[in-house]
Amino acid sequence: MHRLMITSVIQRTVPVYLLLNFAFVLIATSAGLGLAETNALAQNFILKSPATAAANQTGSPSDAVREFYKLMREKKFREAFALSIYQPAIEGLKPAEFDDLRPDFERLAAAIPEKVDISGEQISGEAATVFVRVKDEEDKEQAEPVASIRVNGKWIVGDKENHEIVKKAGSEFFFNARIDTHHSEVQALMRRISLAQLVYNQQHAGKFGDMPALILAGLIPKDLEGTETTGYRFRITVSPDGKSWIATAEPAQYGRTGRLSFFLDQSGVRNGDVAGKPLPATPLKN
């Protein structure tokens, strides 16, 4: 399970998937995935990429970080990722797969500040830390650390451990990260639906609400009506007398936006892999 690093340089208007699991760069909050082999093609791409050459003329980690964010903001995603540990994840993507991920990349790019100020760097052997000035929730400026490593004599953005993880996952990396995050988000949203029903029930004479009613009451997000931000199709079904309810969620695209299906009723939430189909109300037998 991998949750990669990102901080306040990427603003909190970005969807949760991007904030928590989008294999990005600014290191401060989150977690990690697993290992692999360097291949000659990946190394050749890093060495010969024009963006990489431009960013590393002085051999400075700060130059690589600065150029990386500049290219991301300009939506030159392949060039940007060539300057980072995520290059092996991007190079193997088929055109259709890249197009599938592009909206996520573009939302992330839109959240990057126009100017990324660097206050300094610390180099220790083949690793470095670049300090980027960002503003916290109280609009106070502080320095956030961004990891950088030297690969084949060139500085790239990211750390060694996660570089191995990305190389192992290859072109599946972004999709795996997206799926892991969607699963966690759906679990949390199911709990939120359960709490919303409790509140709604107390406010409506013992009756439960369907999705439009819960959204209108401000108890659950409107995002649940679509699949764009969650990657899942949510349904809330209320009995004719309003005394009972269930909620279900299935991946919008099995294997790309999620693998688990979810079922929630008043007894709790369950999930399982049923190839994207609705999870039965009765628990499956092993």
Alpha-helical runs (H) found in the chain: 16-21, 40-48, 50-55, 61-73, 77-81, 87-91, 95-111, 160-169, 173-203, 211-216
**pLDDT of the residue at 196:** 98
Provide the pLDDT confidence category of residue 137 given band limits of 50, 70 and 90.
low
Is 3.30.540 the CATH number for 177-272?
yes
Provide the pLDDT confidence category of residue 136 given band limits of 50, 70 and 90.
low
* CATH no., domain 16-176: 3.10.450.50
| pLDDT of 12 higher than 70 | no
**pLDDT of the residue at 224:** 97
Cα 24 to Cα 26: distance, rounded to the nearest angstrom: 7
Which residue in 165, 162, 155 sits closest to 25, CA to CA? 162
Other beta carbons within 10 Å of 69: 26
**pLDDT of the residue at 70:** 92
Let me know how long the chain is.
286
**pLDDT of the residue at 94:** 93
**Tell me, what amino acid is at 33?**
L
**pLDDT of the residue at 5:** 36
In the block, tokens 């969650």 appear at 230
- Give 223's DSSP letter: G
Map out the domains of the chain as residue ranges: 16-176, 177-272
